[in-house]
Chain A
Amino acid sequence: MMQSVTYRKMKNHLMSGLMLACTLAVLVPLGLIFFHILKMGVSSLSLDFFTHVPAPTGEPGGGMANGMVGSAIMIAGASLIGLPVGILGAIYLSEFGGSKVSTLIRFAADVLSGTPSIITGMVAYTLLVVPMKGFSGLAGSVALAMIMIPIVLRTTEEQLKMVPGSLREASLALGVPFWRTSLKVTLRSALSGVLTGVLLAVARIAGETAPLLFTALGNQFWSKNVMQPMAALPLQIFSFAIAPYEDWHRLAWGGALVLVTVMFALSLTARYFGRTRQAG
């Protein structure tokens, strides 16, 4: 390279500036999104927002209480189905696995988590909504569980693998059966890491909209029966945002603020658990 030192230094500064510009270009739209959610969201939050169902078309006021309750019910249902499958499946992969079958299962989990979530909704529709002859919160829970399982499986497996083998051997040497060792020693030592994965998975499904479109469908009224169409916060944000009414737009911003706050609280808690584990 026969370039002068000043030229090379200038080029260095130029490219560094360009990279800084890239970083800013990445952060600015995201900053704007936050700014708008905060600005529009805070002004539309009130006690009514958390206690009332949406007002009929065109009328002011109302809230998204039914959506929040519906989301909570469906997330609880999805966790009830998804967590045992994900965590016990992960125990198989880390404690019994190692064969070609495990590689296949890991690959299947990766494929599942890469599949667009709307496909999950279509499959849950054919499997549950069609035979049961109606949209239901249960179908929504199953669709969300299908998204949750691969995430929980992979993060739990990673955490279990980090538990030193000597810990298991110590427990087994004391005569503790293998299954109790797995649950009470291996899983328990990895618990904070597993919890991190679970919280991240919950945060992920809390914001999912597409899989609920043809399963839970949404509901303008109170809906606590899981066999009936059920309201969900993301679904309400979607339908209110594309409706031509100012009042509904306001509700949508309020819902977005609540959703983002819940998700960030979950992610930060997850990060906290993840950190204490690494430090310990």
Chain B
Amino acid sequence: MRTSCCTNETETDRAAAAPKSPQPAIAKKLGGDSIFRYLTTFFAFSILAILALMLYEMAGESLPAIREFGWKFVSSKDWDAVQGSFGALPYLYGSVVSSVLALLLATPLSIGAALFITEIAPGRLGSVVAPLVELLAAIPSVIYGLWGVLVMAPWLQSTVQPFLIEHFGFIPLFEGAPYGVSMLAAIFILMIMVVPIITSITREVLLAVPQSQKEAAIALGATRWETIKIAILPYGKSGILGAAILGLGRAIGETMAVTMVIGNAPNISLSLLSPAYTMPSVIANEFAETTSKLHASALMEIGLILMVVTLIVNAMARLLIWSVSGRAKGGAA
């Protein structure tokens, strides 16, 4: 027996006992083991160090901008690198509008698709569509952006936007000229991008609904839709909400695809047809060529806001998803 932690214990017992192992006499003999322990501990803790370092750097670098502008930073729409005055409101507005509207379009579609895959599709079909959706979630955003700017935006400009202007132009949402690259294009591309994510998580949540729930509804004579309505959806409700919020987190942080199709103009306009700007886009466009320390610091502060917002959104989503699928997995992790 070489280590103090290798008796006939169960895995969890050993895991709990291992960090202590107090016999120094034995520890001398097992040089390899203690080195291994320290090495793995070091690497595991480096994750914490990376996160701390990220927060520290982002906060430290944005201090000059925070000191200079205070709350005006998020309420002013005056962004002028030459004059040295920075207000991030147009970017905040663009991020919120594009991601929330994309989510409103994507969520019902995703829930419908996930229900179709898990509950309605004949076995084989569902098992073809599900991995396909997962593969699609892995396509890099720059590819969505390429398609968006070279195929979708010209199509929007030549067909969809003139149609909207002609028939719905009296609504402020659809007034203006057809530019192609616009808030509308960003909303569409974000919707296409988050749908696979929400669908695949919703599918996992639906698969975690106990069979007995469905059987109880079927035994009462419910049709398939009634089973979904009274047994499946109520059980998976919080998990599905979590999936949608996770999609929101992804949409807020999405950089490349949005930068390529949104038009990059710091407008605050009610019209979905006019170009706009988002927080990640302005960072992507300006950070490599900042004109002053204050400019860099202002972009850092936008990054800090972005990081904190996605942190909160993701934490909420994970808690909600765990509350459903965690039960099935026995609360793993």
Tell me the A residues contacting B by CB distance below 8 Å: 8-9, 11-12, 15-16, 18-23, 25-27, 29-30, 32-33, 36-37, 84-86, 88-93, 95-99, 102, 104-106, 108-112, 114-120, 122-123, 125-127, 135, 146, 149-150, 153-154, 157-158, 161, 165, 168-169, 172-173, 175, 177-180, 182, 200, 203-204, 206-210, 213-214, 217, 234, 237-238, 241-242, 249, 252-253, 256, 259-260, 263-264, 267, 271
Please determine whether A260 and B143 come into contact, CB atoms closer than 8 angstroms. Answer: yes
Judging by beta carbons under 8 Å apart, are B47 and A108 in contact? yes
In contact, A123 and B53 (Cβ under 8 angstroms): yes
Shortest Cβ gap from A142 to chain B (Å): 10
Residues A116 and B139 in contact in the complex (CB < 8 Å), given A123-B57, A177-B30? no
Main secondary structure of the interface of B (DSSP, over half): helix
Q: Taking A19-B112, A169-B8, A177-B2 as contacts, is the C-beta distance between A207 and B48 under 8 angstroms?
A: no
Pair A234/B142 contact, Cβ less than 8 Å: yes
Is there contact, CB below 8 Å, between B113 and A23?
yes
13 additional contacts (CB under 8 A) given A23-B117, A178-B2, A249-B150: A23-B121, A26-B199, A37-B143, A89-B46, A95-B15, A96-B15, A117-B255, A119-B54, A123-B53, A206-B140, A213-B284, A238-B146, A241-B260
The residues of B that contact A119 with a CB separation of less than 8 Å are: 54, 58, 253, 303, 306-307
- Which bracket fits the contact residues of B? 35 or more
Encoded as 1 (CB less than 8 Å from any A CB) or 0, chain B from 296 to 309 comes to 00011001001100
Q: Which of B67-75, B160-168, B221-229, B268-276 contacts A (4 or more CB under 8 A)?
A: B221-229
Q: Mark B255-282, 1 if CB is under 8 A from A, else 0.
A: 1100010000000000000000000100
What would be 10 A-B contacts, judged by CB atoms less than 8 Å apart?
A: A12-B223, A12-B224, A30-B192, A84-B43, A95-B15, A110-B314, A111-B51, A119-B253, A126-B57, A241-B142
Q: Does B93 contact A (CB under 8 A)?
A: no
With A16-B224, A26-B110 in contact, do A150 and B47 touch (Cβ < 8 Å)? yes
Residues of A close to B307: CB separation below 8 A: 115-116, 119
The total number of A-B Cβ pairs within 8 Å is 277
Which residues from B are CB-within-8-Å of A95?
15, 18, 40
The segment from B83-91, B130-138, B171-179, B209-217 found at the interface with A is B130-138
User: Distance (Å) between the CB of A270 and the closest chain B CB?
Assistant: 10
Asked, given contacts A122-B300, A241-B260, A259-B143, whether A22 binds B43 with beta carbons under 8 Å apart, the answer is no
Contacts A25-B109, A26-B195, A95-B40 given: A172-B6 contact, CB under 8 Å? yes
Q: How far is the CB of B131 from chain A (nearest CB, A)?
A: 7
Would you call A122 and B43 a contact (CB within 8 A)? no
> Bound complex: CA of A208 vs CA of B256, how far in Å?
9
Q: Are B131 and A271 in contact (CB under 8 A)?
A: yes
Give the A-binding residues of B (Cβ under 8 A). Answer: 1-3, 5-6, 8, 10-12, 14-16, 18-19, 30, 32-33, 35-37, 39-41, 43-48, 50-51, 53-54, 57-58, 61, 108-113, 115-117, 120-121, 129, 131-133, 135-136, 138-147, 149-151, 192, 195-196, 199, 223-226, 228, 249, 252-256, 260, 280, 283-284, 287-288, 299-300, 303, 306-307, 310-311, 314-315, 318, 332-333
Chain A neighbourhood of B131, CB < 8 A: 271
